[in-house]
Structure 1
Amino acid sequence: MTHKRLTVLQVLPALESGGVERGTLELGHYLVQQGHRSLVMSAGGRLVEQLEQQGSEHVQWPVGHKSFLSLRLVRPLRHFLREHAVDILHVRSRFPAWICYLAWKGMDPAKRPRLVTTVHGTYSVSAYSAVMIKGERVIVISNMIRDYVLQHYPVDAGRLRLNYRGVDPAVHRHGYLPRADWLEAWYRDYPETQGRQLLTLPARLTRWKGQEDFITLLAQLRQQGANVHGLVVGDVQAGKAAYLEELKLQSQGLDVADRITFTGHRQDIRDIMAMSHMVFSLSRQPEAFGRVTMEALSMGVPVIAYAHGGVAEQLAELLPQGAIAVGDLEAALKLSLAWLQQPPQVPENQVFRLQTMLENTLAIYYELTSLPQQVAPA
């Protein structure tokens, strides 16, 4: 079946960094490769250059500026959608979604674009968040998010489409190993990691991400005689410096200050995980999907994780024995000790693939554009 060339507008607050932003670029690139026109509207950021190099067009509007004054954008956006004959309006964030929804709702149903929203997280349950359920199709990025939406909002399940986030196996290749020059530079910067089995917790520094549990686990492993070193890889965000000091004090109190390194933000997280003996996900709150753990598993690196949220769904497919109950450090210790002796074989990722995610998204667009226009969801 042949489909017409689509004009797709993705809208999000900014293009600085993050999973939503990377997903926007990946989809834009794919649309261009498939012969469609890809537009992205945001306040701009460091990823704009890459976006445009990949063939998408960027439109710089302050759609993420949380102010009632931003509602002045509703009428110009309506004009923009008509002028560019946009076929699909795809929104990924709550505040821009309100601007887009109000513009879209005020258009002639026979001539307006089709509206798609993606629910990327467990947003607070409120009238403000409900805008993410107003798409004619609502993409949910894991079964956990699908259940969350159905539990908290009066939404027709027929409008929901499960579409897992995906990893590019060419980038996160099964069996990937860092280059020798990268390793040389790493050991020069972090000599304390040499000759030890590396355990990595990739997560920004915030209380629910599990750094405290990770430090406790390191101390228990050391008491058992394990030759391990812990890496906490992630941003120390504004206002979180005091929490980093707390973690350092905890590691001193448990006598593992010399066995843990806080690297801060790193662009080379792929290489760090690839050289790690194990990667951990110890978030006390469920992750909507957990892109980083999926990247580790795709490279064949074993993951031990609290079994909830999207990460539990990944492990169920690829490494069920890596799932432990939330907060069960005894199970984490037992499993870590076993895997330090004999790591498990992680099968190749055939489920959570970038190509599948992209094809599914385009199929949703095609499905909508082939249907007659309907009245806007309430």
Structure 2
Amino acid sequence: MVPHLTTALTGPLKELESRILRAQPKIEHWFRSQWLKHDAPFYASVDLRNAGFKLAPVDTNLFPGGFNNLNQTFRPLAVQAATVAVEKICPEARGVLLIPENHTRNSFYLQNVAALHSILRQAGLNVRIGSLLPELEAPMQLELPDGQNLLLEPVQRRGNRLHLGDDFNPCTVLLNNDLSGGVPSVLQGVEQALLPPTYAGWATRRKTGHFAAYDGVADEFAQLISIDPWLINPYFSHVGGVDFQERAGEEVLADKVSDLLARIRTKYQEYGIEQQPYVVVKADAGTYGMGVMTVKDPSEVVGLNRKQRNKMSVIKEGMEVHDVIVQEGVHTFETVNEAVAEPVVYMLDHFVIGGFYRVHTGRGADENLNAPGMHFVPLAFEKPCNAPECDEAPDCPPNRFYSYGVVARLALLAAARELETMAEEHGE
């Protein structure tokens, strides 16, 4: 069975989806040419928001942690994509060391590790899980709620290579750890291929850098299919020097919020959109939905109370927030079982391999859904996101999901360009 999906905006066919469907051959040719010029990240997930009048990415994660939430029907797509991705880096690859986050009590995350481990094993690789937990001195067996077991082994370093205890000497190291707290010394100067590279971690990567790259991609794509790039691209701006605890930078932040809301209102007037515009203020680095607030008026970011300041000032690994991205809020008018939902699309190399809906019964169409109380529903497609039904309506499920796959791949291409820029900055 597939989950029942309802979309608030039924009725007239969506012009954006129609244009994407009509241009499918041109779009796929363009993507092929782009992947000849740019190396796709090993994997990524993209959070999308579908407002009916606008379909845009709002976050791109280069260390995705929800492989256990994907539709199992399309596991062969993931296995094939993983094979291609590993062969690009190490054609003779036999051994892969998978390094996860240091979560030993988060069963949902560990099930993600197990799913990723299974995909790589089915791709014909010898995969073992190496932990960076400083207190782990011997292999540790973890039993998961679904009956699976994971063996975590302490990572060892010999010279410039990572090993596991019985001389497991992999040629590739796959990071499923976003390095929010920085790059540990054991990973510095490693000669094995590290996927993604350590500079892709949140200690150095910034969301504003990603969306600056996405600006260029969206403009090129919009010209390709003759649309307004705003229809697939959220406005954003950067604010530095913020200290929420000391209330430093509040006025500058309020000014940026005001400017962005004015730009959004202009677009809403142009397209006859009646919804109230809003922006999302979030930490310029980090994940797990931490350091995020929805703002509809500039006054809301001035004089925050203690609870709000605490929420915004620190993110994962206790990292303090001093830079934020002010991003145009994109409403989500999709629901699953009457609960607000947003699609999350997963990719390995440049292939769409599935996704899921992030669903939250306690949040509204203009709120962050990546918050406690959320749950996940595998994407209800009957065919992969890259297989549209060209003779069907633009908003039928396969075609809607094709549009999701297209916009997600635009974000993936932006990430590829973003990483190229970062590699130059890091002398790699």
- On whether the aligned pair clears a TM of 0.5, the verdict is no
Tell me which protein shows more strand as a share of its residues: 2
Tell me which protein shows more helix as a share of its residues: 1
Identify the structure with bigger relative contact order (alpha carbons < 8 Å, sequence gap 6+).
2
Structure 1-normalised TM-score?
0.30
Structure 2-normalised TM-score?
0.27
Bigger-Rg structure (1/2): 1
